[in-house]
Structure 1
Amino acid sequence: MEETLDFTPLLLVSVLAVLVPFVAWRLTGGLVPAVVGEVLVGILFGEPVLGIITHHNEWLTFLGLFGFAYLMFLSGLEINLSLLGQSPGRRWYIPGVALRHPLISGTVLLVLVVIATFVGLRLMSTVGLITTAQIPMLLFILIATAVGVIVPVLKDRPDLGRMGQALLVGGFLLEFVAILGVGVVAALEREGITWKIALILAVPSALVILVWLSRFGSGRFPIIPRTMHELAQTSSQLKIRASLALLVIFVALSQVAGTEMVLGAFVAGLAVTVVSPRHGSSLRGKLDALGYGFFVPIFFIHAGATLDLGAVFDSTESLILVPALLLVAFGAKMVPSLLGLVPAWGIRPGLAGGSLLSANLSLVLAAGAIAADLGVIDDGLHGALLLMALLTTVLAPLMFSTIAGRAPDQEDGHTLIVGGGDLARTLVERLMAGGRRVIVLDRDPDAPTKWGAVGVEGVVGDPMDALTLISVRLLQTDVAVIVDFEHSDEVIDYARSMRRIHPTLRVVTWTSEMDPQFEHTAIEAYSLSDVTALALEEAVLRPGLHAARSDPESGLVEVEMLNREFDGQTLSEIDFEGDVRVLVVMREGESSVATGDTSIFLHDRLTLAGEPAAVALMGNRFQERKRSRWFVDVRTTRKIETEY
């Protein structure tokens, strides 16, 4: 059997998957997404040019297919469903106010984009570039947007605030409707109008059942979440297995229902989004690593390798299709942005958002292949769609950056403390000792005087009141810590009130008994018993780190190891200057207590402790020479900049 298996194509794809992001970054500085490079090298080494990677390798074909399913799964993971349940406010009837609500602006964008795309396709059919029968499938292909491209761009622009959330929700609605529409059209092409079309509803219905079980089943069957938690960090990695099982279950359900697996994979991602917390969980990081580290690159490279580019250049008509499709792709997103985004955010941000929504790659690659297999589009139109997708993925982020301009320089955000008791005072003092900026929201009428004596700003008010939350500059807040409350429902009400203004705000609190609603509302709750046990464990197993954390005068920072001089050396081989030591080494998300035999490598995260001046000096040595270096104070997560 081993003689029949050829691993050479998989070896080549694996090597290319490693090299492409590095080369793309070095050549373009990150302006061109790595996925574009992966498709291009697929074209180079695949059937269009060299012919090394072909569709005849069954292993590679399967991995490429599963990679696409996994990409749609990860797209579902990016969606924050809590944004859809926000209240539009009392002045919802004013367009400029209503369109600031993510769900309203996203819905308006969805309707306008569908109309604009249909008009553009109708014009193309009028001049004979496409047929009328092709419009339904092309409509759903072109309204889609690349959530995988939008999310990284928006993460680099926190200054966009609620407009960024509006773009994300709009992108989610466009992607979901496109995926559902492609599934329906494909089913109609295969079966016609039959009762089997109703089976497509089985996929979202399964999602609803899973949501109900996650919210109400854990209380009736407590052994399930407890066992999942106990096995999550063992070799069983039960949460990863369960997530992958969900993916396969929904993909199989899609096949049984007669629709495309793209819908099942996307809904599987939504399911994991619903049942797992968005903050404080390593599950999403592990799923991202598994997908973007292996399956997704194989899909993009294989898609490029099996692309029939020859069909695009076979006729003048096919070549004309590319600019025509580009015009529809950008026009159908940017023109609606004039009505859906500009009234709320202004002309430049609105047009920039419309250009970013024009990016469309993964669904075009998948839906184009589906349409070609069904005979809805010919090879020339299929190739033109793929070239259009590549160009939009490259041009959309560049146009967004050009129109929106550079992000304004912003200071680090502050921490909001809700409460005024002894625990709040102790926390404030420790955060201030670490250099963290703090604002206290207290119900005590004497709060300004009481907290002013400590050296922090105290505001009197109710955490449920919108004007009070605006007065504490909630949009500039990194994290809100709810310290004083009567019961857990009060914490949940506070969190929901804050997130109506700041949808992505981290909310942290303590509890004596865990409430399942904390997880569903993405509140990071820490059990007093667990925190106490953790502190005692640290004192026993890592006394040096515990002492450094407990002593406000001790230097304690985390640095990234960038100096090639120390790459591969053990700590005992390094000449430390002054009273400083390495306590913890973190590598690829896993931390270990440092000893003299511990080796360090590039990009390790090192926790240094000791005399502050010596810690700063040694931190400079560990970092690569450049104009400025950033440390992270592990007690406050505050960035500290030093210059050489």
Structure 2
Amino acid sequence: MSSDVLIIVTLSLLIWVSPFIAKLVRLPTTPVEIILGSIAGGIGLFGEGDNEIFSIVAEFGFLYLMFVAGLEVNVKKLLRTDMEILKTGFAYLGILYALSVLIAYQLGMSFVFMVIFPLISVGLIATLSKEYGKETPWVKLSITIGILGELISIIVLTLASAGIHYGLGLDFFFKISVLATFIASMALVYYLLHLLFWWYPEIRSVMMPYFDTKEQDIRLSMATLFIMLAIMLYLGLELAFGAFIAGVFIATFFSHKEDLEAKLSSFGFGFLIPIFFIYVGSSLPYEALQKEGLILFSLIIAVIMIFIRMLASSAFVRLCGFRNATLIAFSHAMPLTLLIAVATLAFHARSIDEFHYEAFILASIVEVVVSMAAIKLLNRRKPVEECVLAPGGKTKKQNG
């Protein structure tokens, strides 16, 4: 059997069986896909060396994952978020980034660690909303603050990409100015489109009809994604940022298509995105676990990332109470997708070696397992405190 045929068969089987195994071991599907990819890669089911087609499809799977993450961000809803919550969220994020820089500096770690430690991704928080309910107070607040955190993380990812590739020279500052100009342009486009759809709401339904027999919603979404990727390529910015912005655009201006996010997510998580995670697993063969100090270093990374979120979550205690603040901390301690993205970027740019790359991948899995277990443990009985927003933006706590 040729290498390409073996890879296609292996991928097909792993994508199919992953949900069954995840249900059996009571873990999210994502870490299971990574583990299965590691095992398959270790026993040679993906052939020798890096398969170009496998790599390209996996990279697009990652970009589609960033696109789906952007679909979680509705700018209009975000701008209507209560100021008390926003202030608390920014305080939490400020503490998180300050602790990350301080700890990495004190331990003599490189700036890559400073970038990775505070990362937040809403990807796995979505699985929590399915299990515990979107209207559960701590889940709702976790998603809102997680969206802010992911926006900042995506910008940091873009800056880190420019810094890794160009260093702190003129090219880097040129890329920063390009990024700033792009963000300002997107803000202007948002304002103009908001006015356009306000005065002519029928344009929205023409572009994406309520009753669609030709899948125009999917076509427009994919066109937006690829156009944004083309703009990122032209400007020399991080592709993941463009994919994320494309998702934000669709979520913000076409929220009338309530089933669109589910359709796009189902396609991604059912096909493209698992290929990315399996590919990541294949780059971490189980033989790597035998490297001296790898497991210990991975645990140290995971402990630091959970610890700083626990400390930063103290900002939520007044708003929600200690238990809900702890739940939010653990829900944000699973930035698996962005952690892998930054680690992969740094490894390819030779800012970190293979040992540290493998440690980051293993740490991302450890964080998911520990955080999921902790959240289940804290939710064994009904939380005694709930986040309740009183009229006028003031907060109060209710006993359950």
Sort the TM-score into its range (normalised by shorter chain): 0.7 to 0.9
Residue in 1 aligned with 2:305? Answer: 329
Deviations 1:84-127 (A, max 9, x none): 43343xxxxxxxxxxxx3312211110111112222212322xx
User: How far has the Cα of 1:39 moved from its partner?
Assistant: 0.5
Residue in 1 aligned with 2:264? Answer: 287
* Aligned match for 1:255, one of 233, 236, 243: 233
Residue in 1 aligned with 2:95? Answer: 112
Task: Identify if the C-alpha distance between structure 1 residues 219 and 4 changes in structure 2 by more than 3 Å, giving closer, same or farther.
Answer: farther
CA contact (8 A) 1:106 1:170 kept: yes
Residue in 2 aligned with 1:15? Answer: 13
* Aligned match for 2:176, one of 181, 197, 201: 197
* Aligned match for 1:72, one of 61, 66, 70: 66
* Aligned match for 1:320, one of 270, 280, 296: 296
Bigger mean CA deviation after superposition, 372-381 or 351-360: 351-360
Deviations 1:207-233 (A, max 9, x none): 324423432234677774343244962
* Aligned match for 1:34, one of 24, 29, 47: 29
AA aligned to 2:253 is: V
Task: Identify if the C-alpha distance between structure 1 residues 385 and 260 changes in structure 2 by more than 3 Å, giving closer, same or farther.
Answer: same
CA contact (8 A) 2:334 2:368 kept: yes
AA aligned to 1:326 is: A
Residue in 2 aligned with 1:121? Answer: 104
SS of the residue 2:4 aligns to: coil
2:209 paired with 1:234:
no
5 Å-filtered alignment, 1:338-353, equals 339-353=314-328
2:193 paired with 1:214:
yes
* TM-score normalised by L of structure 1: 0.55
Residue in 1 aligned with 2:368? Answer: 393
Between the aligned partners of 2:252 and 2:134, the Cα distance in structure 1 is 27
CA contact (8 A) 1:210 1:271 kept: no
Deviations 1:374-393 (A, max 9, x none): 11111111110100000111
AA aligned to 1:154 is: S
Count of residues paired in the alignment: 386
AA aligned to 2:183 is: P
2:34 paired with 1:45:
no
AA aligned to 1:248 is: F
SS of the residue 2:27 aligns to: coil
Between the aligned partners of 1:159 and 1:64, the Cα distance in structure 2 is 30
Between the aligned partners of 1:102 and 1:222, the Cα distance in structure 2 is 31
**More helix by percentage:** 2
SS of the residue 1:147 aligns to: coil
Task: Identify if the C-alpha distance between structure 1 residues 115 and 217 changes in structure 2 by more than 3 Å, giving closer, same or farther.
Answer: same
User: How far has the Cα of 1:369 moved from its partner?
Assistant: 0.7
AA aligned to 2:52 is: E
SS of the residue 1:148 aligns to: coil
Contiguous gaps of at least 5 residues in structure 1: 89-100, 410-465, 471-496, 502-644
User: How far has the Cα of 1:306 moved from its partner?
Assistant: 2.3
* TM-score normalised by L of structure 2: 0.86
CA contact (8 A) 1:68 1:299 kept: yes
User: How far has the Cα of 1:176 moved from its partner?
Assistant: 1.9
AA aligned to 1:61 is: S
CA contact (8 A) 1:358 1:392 kept: yes
CA contact (8 A) 2:40 2:46 kept: yes
AA aligned to 2:85 is: P
2:371 paired with 1:360:
no
User: How far has the Cα of 1:206 moved from its partner?
Assistant: 4.7
Bigger mean CA deviation after superposition, 68-77 or 241-250: 241-250
Between the aligned partners of 1:179 and 1:313, the Cα distance in structure 2 is 33
**More strand by percentage:** 1
AA aligned to 1:65 is: E
Residue in 1 aligned with 2:81? Answer: 86
2:52 paired with 1:58:
yes
Between the aligned partners of 1:253 and 1:242, the Cα distance in structure 2 is 16
Task: Identify if the C-alpha distance between structure 1 residues 61 and 310 changes in structure 2 by more than 3 Å, giving closer, same or farther.
Answer: same
User: How far has the Cα of 1:160 moved from its partner?
Assistant: 6.6
Residue in 2 aligned with 1:456? Answer: none
SS of the residue 1:143 aligns to: coil
SS of the residue 1:402 aligns to: helix
Between the aligned partners of 2:357 and 2:60, the Cα distance in structure 1 is 21
Higher relative contact order (CA 8 A, sep 6+): 2
Deviations 1:616-638 (A, max 9, x none): xxxxxxxxxxxxxxxxxxxxxxx
Between the aligned partners of 1:74 and 1:221, the Cα distance in structure 2 is 28
Residue in 2 aligned with 1:405? Answer: 380
AA aligned to 1:23 is: I
Between the aligned partners of 1:67 and 1:394, the Cα distance in structure 2 is 23
User: How far has the Cα of 1:266 moved from its partner?
Assistant: 1.4
Task: Identify if the C-alpha distance between structure 1 residues 226 and 170 changes in structure 2 by more than 3 Å, giving closer, same or farther.
Answer: closer
CA contact (8 A) 1:147 1:172 kept: yes
Between the aligned partners of 2:131 and 2:181, the Cα distance in structure 1 is 37
User: How far has the Cα of 1:184 moved from its partner?
Assistant: 0.9
Between the aligned partners of 1:115 and 1:296, the Cα distance in structure 2 is 32
User: How far has the Cα of 1:248 moved from its partner?
Assistant: 1.7
* Aligned match for 1:225, one of 167, 180, 204: 204
Between the aligned partners of 1:171 and 1:231, the Cα distance in structure 2 is 30
Contiguous gaps of at least 5 residues in structure 2: 396-400
User: How far has the Cα of 1:291 moved from its partner?
Assistant: 0.7
Deviations 1:290-319 (A, max 9, x none): 111111111111111123665564343x44
Task: Identify if the C-alpha distance between structure 1 residues 361 and 145 changes in structure 2 by more than 3 Å, giving closer, same or farther.
Answer: same
SS of the residue 1:103 aligns to: helix
SS of the residue 2:284 aligns to: coil
SS of the residue 1:156 aligns to: helix
Deviations 1:30-72 (A, max 9, x none): x3100111111101111x3334356633222111101100111
Question: Larger radius of gyration, structure 1 or 2?
Answer: 1
Between the aligned partners of 1:11 and 1:213, the Cα distance in structure 2 is 48
CA contact (8 A) 1:202 1:257 kept: no
SS of the residue 2:124 aligns to: helix
5 Å-filtered alignment, 1:179-194, equals 179-192=154-167, 193-194=169-170
CA contact (8 A) 2:334 2:367 kept: yes
SS of the residue 1:14 aligns to: helix
Between the aligned partners of 2:123 and 2:380, the Cα distance in structure 1 is 21
Deviations 1:544-575 (A, max 9, x none): xxxxxxxxxxxxxxxxxxxxxxxxxxxxxxxx
Between the aligned partners of 1:302 and 1:51, the Cα distance in structure 2 is 12
